[in-house]
């Protein structure tokens, strides 16, 4: 539609994505979403007490033989992130410092929810 209207390829023309936030890409890349760490990796939840259960839920499962996916490297991305965060403390022996990460008990904590939980006495701290 924008091409038909003549808005593509012109100085100052183009399309602007309309979203709930002006820079959702930046929020997710920097790890500012309450349920993600940088690299679009999910934070663990309480039902994933160890590294094996965390990776098992997120590991790429091909639907047909020979299928590939960017996310088949999830394990490598996670290990890389943990090594960047914790350096020599993230080792295979300690499951790449998996225990250092918080485990979410709800899908998402945003600022408003945090204040509501604090008011109800259900949350006493926020990192």
For 3-34, write each residue's pLDDT tens digit: 777 777 777 676 666 655 566 666 666 666 77
Q: Look at residue 22 in the predicted model and tell me its pLDDT.
A: 61
How far lies 89's CA from each of 31, 39, 44, 106, in Å?
A: 21, 20, 19, 28
The answer to whether 47 and 54 are in contact (CB under 8 A) is no
Which segments of the chain are extended strands (E)? 36-37, 41-42
Whether the model clears a pTM of 0.75, i.e. scores above it, the answer is no
In the prediction, which pLDDT does 122 show? 86
């Amino acid at each position: 539609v924008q091409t038909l209207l003549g808005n593509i390829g012109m100085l100052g023309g183009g399309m602007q994505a309309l979203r709930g936030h002006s820079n959702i890409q930046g929020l997710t890349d920097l790890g500012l979403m309450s349920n993600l760490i940088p690299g679009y990796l999910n934070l663990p939840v309480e039902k994933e007490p160890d590294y094996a259960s965390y990776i098992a839920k997120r590991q790429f499962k091909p639907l047909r033989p020979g299928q590939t996916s960017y996310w088949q490297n999830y394990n490598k991305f996670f290990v890389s992130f943990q090594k960047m965060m914790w350096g020599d403390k993230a080792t295979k022996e300690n499951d790449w410092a998996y225990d250092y990460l918080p485990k979410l008990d709800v899908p998402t904590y945003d600022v408003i929810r945090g204040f509501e939980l604090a008011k109800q006495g259900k949350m006493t701290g926020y990192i």
